[in-house]
Amino acid sequence: MLADRVTKEIALRTLADTRRGGGVLRLVTSGRPRLAREASKPTLVAVWLAAVACALAGLAVSPSLRANPLVSVGVAVALAGAACNGADLLARGAVVDFIAIGWWPVFNLADAAIVVGAGVAALSLA
């Protein structure tokens, strides 16, 4: 979570908000997530994030997940990424993305943590 916060602050201070162009690093602060654009009040976003976090936490403490430590680690990493992006939503109304690799959508460390954590959890269940 600390690495995500620090890298987002560095990106905000050093990268121009281009939304286009080349390079591996570019700042994108709008256009995602859809929920933040459509929510009329920040409390709606907070309630949605809390509901998702509670559902995932409930899954994390189930007996089948506690038996496999990799599943718990994967869920924890994914939740940490979601919490980082949730903090951005509440503070800025949008998520700060800055890593642009080829045709892949621009992302940040929290997005990577969500994908990697969910992947580790899913593969550990197989």
Diameter of the chain measured on Cα atoms: 48
In whole angstroms, what is the distance from residue 51 CA to residue 32 CA?
20
| Non-local CB neighbours of 29 within 8 Å, separated by 6+ positions | 12, 17, 92, 94, 95, 96, 97
* Catalytic site positions: 97, 111
